[in-house]
Structure 1
Amino acid sequence: MNHFLLRTTIASAALLCGTTTASAQSTVNLYGLIDLSIGSNKAPGGTRLRDVDSGKMTTSYLGFSATEDLGSGLSAVVKMEHFLRADTGEAGRFGGDTFWARTAHVGLSSKAAGTVTLGRNTTPLFVATLRMNAFGDSFGYSPSIRHFFTSGTVTGDTGWSDSILYTSPRWGGFSFGLIGALAEGSNGRNWGMNAGYADGPVAATVTLQSVKKDGTAAVADTRTWQLGGSYDFGAAKLFGQYGRVKNETVVNQYRITEIGAKVPVGAGAVLAQWGQIKPDTGAKRDTLSLGYDHNLSKRTDVYAVAMRDHVAGLSTGLGYALGVRHRF
Structure 2
Amino acid sequence: MNKQVFALAVSTAVSAAFSTPASAQTSVTLYGVLDEGINYTNNAGRGHVYELASGYAQGSRWGLKGAEELGGGLKAIFQLENGFDVSSGRLNQGGRMFGRQAFVGLSAERYGVLTFGRQYDSVVDYLAQTTANGNWAGSLFSHPYDNDNTDNSFRLDNTVKYTSPSISGFQFGGTYSFSNDRNFGNNRAYSVGGQYAYGGLLVSAAYLQANNPGNGANGAITANDASFIAARMRVFGGGITYNFGPATAGFAYSKSSYLNPTGNGYLGITPLVPPGVLLNSLKYQNFELNGKYQISPMLFVGAQYVYTIENFDASSGGVKPKIHSFGLMADYNLSKRTDVYIQGEYQQVTGDSTYSILDEAFIPGAQAPSSTSKQVVVRAAIRHKF
TM range (shorter): 0.7 to 0.9
Q: Tell me what 2:31 maps to.
A: 31
Q: Counterpart of 1:311 in 2: which secondary structure?
A: strand
Structure 1 residue 327 corresponds to structure 2 residue 327:
no
How many residues are treated as equivalent by the alignment? 302
**How many angstroms does 1:222 deviate by?**
1.1
1:269 pairs with one of 284, 300, 303:
300
Structure 1 pair 157/211, CA: closer, same or farther in 2 (3 Å)? farther
Q: Counterpart of 1:204 in 2: which secondary structure?
A: strand
Structure 1 residue 310 corresponds to structure 2 residue 348:
yes
Alignment of 1:64-213 (within 5 A): 64-93=64-93, 96-135=94-133, 136=135, 138-142=137-141, 145-147=142-144, 150-152=145-147, 157-185=153-181, 186=183, 187-212=186-211, 213=213
Q: Counterpart of 2:140 in 1: which secondary structure?
A: coil
Structure 1 residue 300 corresponds to structure 2 residue 331:
no
- AA paired with 1:224? V
Structure with greater strand percent? 1
| C-alpha separation in 1, matches of 2:148 and 2:72 | 44
Q: Counterpart of 1:128 in 2: which secondary structure?
A: helix
* TM-score, reference length from structure 1: 0.85
Q: Which structure is richer in relative contact order (CA contacts within 8 A, separation 6 or more)?
A: 1
Unmatched tracts of structure 2, length 5 or more:
1-20, 224-228, 261-279, 313-319, 351-358, 361-371
Structure 1 residue 278 corresponds to structure 2 residue 316:
no
Q: Counterpart of 2:324 in 1: which secondary structure?
A: strand
Structure 1 pair 130/225, CA: closer, same or farther in 2 (3 Å)? closer
**How many angstroms does 1:158 deviate by?**
3.3
| C-alpha separation in 1, matches of 2:210 and 2:118 | 15
**How many angstroms does 1:251 deviate by?**
2.5
Unmatched tracts of structure 1, length 5 or more:
1-20
Looking at CA atoms only, which structure, 1 or 2, has the larger radius of gyration?
2
Structure 1 vs Structure 2 CA RMSD: 2.3
Structure 1 pair 127/74, CA: closer, same or farther in 2 (3 Å)? same
Query: Are the aligned partners of 2:287 and 2:306 in contact in 1 as well (CA < 8 Å)?
Result: yes
Query: Are the aligned partners of 2:124 and 2:149 in contact in 1 as well (CA < 8 Å)?
Result: no
Query: Are the aligned partners of 1:235 and 1:263 in contact in 2 as well (CA < 8 Å)?
Result: yes
Q: Counterpart of 2:376 in 1: which secondary structure?
A: strand
**How many angstroms does 1:283 deviate by?**
3.2
Query: Are the aligned partners of 2:255 and 2:284 in contact in 1 as well (CA < 8 Å)?
Result: yes
* TM-score, reference length from structure 2: 0.73
Structure 1 pair 54/154, CA: closer, same or farther in 2 (3 Å)? closer
